[in-house]
Amino acid sequence: MLLVCALAYAGAVVGYLPLLTLLLPIKVEQVAGDGRLDLLTVTVIAGAIAASVANIGFGWLGDRSVSRGGGRRGIMAGGVVATMASYAGLAAATTPALLVAGIVLFQVALNAVIAPLMAIIAEEVPDGRKGVAGGLLAMANPVAATLSAALVGVSRFGEPARFAVIAVTVAMCTLPLVIVRGTRQAGAPPPVLRSMLRRDLLLAWTARLLVQVAGSALFVYLLYYFETVSPSVPESVLAARMGTVMIVAYSVPLPIAVLVGRLADRTGRTKPFLFAAALIAAAGLIAMMAARDFTSGAAAFCVYTGGTSVFLALHAGFAMQLLPSARHRGRDLGLLNLANTLPGLLGPVITWALATPRDFDAVLVVLAVLTLGGGMILLAARGRR
């Protein structure tokens, strides 16, 4: 069941990572030219709002379905179909308005996949294996990064073909979980612990929000960052190099995340590992600020992704153990997911305010401080160690 869940999550990440890190910035540049920063910011903010609302809504619908004796997999299957259809709309978008509308529809469809998927993991994976489960979720980024590199590296792939490859991959990865049924974990924490868990869940939400603000800013503007440290490299060459870097950056943390997740399960202590991961991520951001060529920038980015990938993987399992009510897992995970989607609003705004097309230093310092703060906040949690 763990591997099936990890594969489905990889499919969900494949659904957005190649699009938002490479294909969307390239498309925005084609549509807007010198106005690319403004259009990309508007597009990402609109998508983040749609994702936030959709995730809570589909989580609530899943809870209603479960309470009536049904399940969440039907919603997830519908989301896969809608996501595949949304790529066709994005491929056909030729104006700023159509591009923004296409991203909004895409985010609604994809969150019909992600909301039930995360609730299924929370329900069907025992608490004693959630650390390992979180580590296995880290598999998603290297899979998606590899696909990203392949899509930009194969010159014969046009835009429609790239979107088609993503759509088929999403369907293939998520289908096994739609078919395979697990056993729901029953039970709810006692009232006293439940009150403490609500407080800890708020702390966990805040910590993830701060860490994800940095991730959101870099996620969308990474191509433009590398342009500032490699101004003489053509865009097509830079995109291909960046795809290779992403494979390395997201692959190396995978065994580390699984190992650390296993250690967290065995020791029953997750917070120290979360803090250490946030510290490493912040150091990587400072190193990115100091970089003055592609090689040093890429190395620093790998340090950052190593820390943040382990943090987010462990945090996923940690937060699932803080859910105060078994009846509202989908809704609560949807609210927790705001820590993933709100950064889509905050990150671009911070970058827009502090960065220029040729200088990302100020924004990288701010993001490093936020990331380290996220790790420190979790040390105050009391319900789980």
In this structure, what are the phi and psi dihedrals at residue 251, rounded to the nearest 5 degrees?
A: -85, -40
Q: What is the pLDDT of residues 337-365, one digit of tens each?
A: 777 777 767 777 777 777 666 677 888 88
Kindly give, in sequence order, each residue whose CB lies less than 8 Å from that of residue 282, ignoring residues fewer than 6 positions away. Answer: 307, 368, 369, 371, 372, 375
Which of 131, 251, 107, 124 has the alpha carbon at shortest distance from 177?
124
pTM summary value: 0.71
Q: What is the pLDDT of residues 237-278, one digit of tens each?
A: 777 788 788 778 877 887 888 888 888 878 877 888 999 999
pLDDT (0 to 100) of residue 206: 87
> Domain 2-380 falls in which CATH fold?
Growth Hormone; Chain: A; (1.20.1250)
pLDDT band for position 320 (50/70/90)?
Answer: confident
Q: Bridge-partner residues for 356, per DSSP?
A: 359
Cβ atoms of 68 and 8 closer than 8 Å = no
pLDDT (0 to 100) of residue 108: 94
Residue 195: other Cβ atoms inside 10 A: 13
The structure tokens listed for 123 are 């329900």
Q: What is the pLDDT of residues 110-161, one digit of tens each?
A: 999 998 888 888 777 776 676 777 777 777 777 777 777 677 666 566 778 8
pLDDT band for position 180 (50/70/90)?
Answer: confident
Kindly give, in sequence order, each residue whose CB lies less than 8 Å from that of residue 26, ignoring residues fewer than 6 positions away. Answer: 223, 239
| CA dihedral for 313, 16, 11, 201, sign (positive or negative) | positive
DSSP string, 54-99: HHHHHHHHHHHHHHTT--SHHHHHHHHHHHHHHHHHHHH--SHHHH
Spell out the domain ranges in the chain: 2-380
CA dihedral defined by 117, 120, 126, 131, rounded to 10 degrees? 10
